Structure 1
């Protein structure tokens, strides 16, 4: 019995009867558009960027770009969410690789500060702040990131409590405290232009090392040995 016209029933994908993905369902094409948009946004900023610019940079037609994204706000959010997902995945990998609580906290802190003070991240945050009054929903979507990052470190802290390395009554509070300790003022200095370049590795090491010591003094479980 012949299949009816339309798309095939294939979980997770939409294909036409020709075997090609239905419009708007090709992940490679979507990625191509997001990467093109990223280059434009990072080059000229959000306000100056046009869908024509993005179309040319991504190497697609205007009709194609609107199949995947409603407007440049939608594109900008997709770009941010992709970068956030990549960063969170990398941070989870770092934490999973270190069972020792102090090493895990240190590696997390270094990754966090290095990422948050990177020029691309600072540029993106300045861009969002610049359109906050006109596009409050875009700001809300952008700044949900730190809560996700808090969740990642909170999961690590919960595991360390379970194995007896830490004693914490309020995991959410402790996670926020470590993020604040780790930032060391770097983020605000970079965001407002007081610090024109990312902090050097030795300064990050100094601040994160101090953050770990303070955090462990508050929440660490002292190990004792029997004579």
Structure 2
């Protein structure tokens, strides 16, 4: 009796053998992957993206060149994985500020302070500079960075504004535009100063709160219910 099952490929055979031995197959070991990413993180911080090489990362991670290429095809993929990880860690709770309830102005200020604090932190500013520098040579990396981060966050804020409008708290014609306007107002003045190195470190919380509060007031003056204004 014959079967139509295809022969097992070499990579499948290796994975099966590894599972039988009780250890992860090549490219499947979380500890090894973490070791490589931590080495890459140190190299990118010390040398910058352009100056760093896979040889530098190999030495910093303490692995062979063959091992590193089993996990990552190139330094661009490594950098992108690091950015995704940082984003998940830093921004996971930021939009929760919109779900805590309370008066609309205070909710927007709470969100704006959390948003501006994260966006202007030294780590995020450094990552943004690096991505901007890479975009001309690798535009698809910049596009993925935007789609996985800013675009998803923008969708969450847009949904919140739509919900507020349905409750009669604001009147907005173009929710997509309004969401962009709100976040821009929260970053007014200091964001570009830090992005271009005119100022270093991170803005003081008092400055962020004052800027965000003023920005939210401008936003609500523009989009507040017409019934609340002078007729």
Normalised by the size of structure 2, how large is the TM-score? 0.80
Query: Do the aligned partners of 1:40 and 1:53 also contact (CA within 8 Å) in 2?
Result: yes
1:164 corresponds to which of 149, 168, 189: 168
Cα 1:24–1:160, aligned 2, differ >3 Å: closer, same or farther? farther
Query: Do the aligned partners of 2:35 and 2:61 also contact (CA within 8 Å) in 1?
Result: yes
Q: What CA distance in whole angstroms lies between the structure 1 residues aligned with 2:227 and 2:103?
A: 13
Give 1:222 shift. Answer: 7.9
**1:168-189 deviation digits (Å, cap 9, x = unpaired):** 2322111111011111132211
Q: What CA distance in whole angstroms lies between the structure 1 residues aligned with 2:151 and 2:160?
A: 15
Give 1:190 shift. Answer: 1.1
Query: Do the aligned partners of 1:92 and 1:152 also contact (CA within 8 Å) in 2?
Result: yes
> 1:177 maps to what in 2?
181
Residue ranges of structure 1 left out of the alignment (5+ in a row)? 9-14
Query: Do the aligned partners of 1:42 and 1:120 also contact (CA within 8 Å) in 2?
Result: no
Of Structure 1 and Structure 2, the greater helix share is in 2
Residue ranges of structure 2 left out of the alignment (5+ in a row)? 1-7
> 1:123 maps to what in 2?
126
- Counterparts of residues 128-167 of structure 1 (less than 5 Å): 128-144=131-147, 145-167=149-171
> 2:112 maps to what in 1?
109
Query: Do the aligned partners of 2:40 and 2:60 also contact (CA within 8 Å) in 1?
Result: yes
Q: RMSD of the alignment, in Å?
A: 2.6
**1:11-41 deviation digits (Å, cap 9, x = unpaired):** xxxx723333332233443333223212211
Query: Do the aligned partners of 1:166 and 1:220 also contact (CA within 8 Å) in 2?
Result: yes
Q: What CA distance in whole angstroms lies between the structure 1 residues aligned with 2:169 and 2:33?
A: 44
SS at match of 2:203: coil
Larger Rg over CA atoms:
2
Normalised by the size of structure 1, how large is the TM-score? 0.81
Number of residue pairs aligned between Structure 1 and Structure 2: 215
Is 1:191–2:195 an aligned residue pair? yes
Query: Do the aligned partners of 2:91 and 2:118 also contact (CA within 8 Å) in 1?
Result: no
Query: Do the aligned partners of 2:95 and 2:153 also contact (CA within 8 Å) in 1?
Result: no
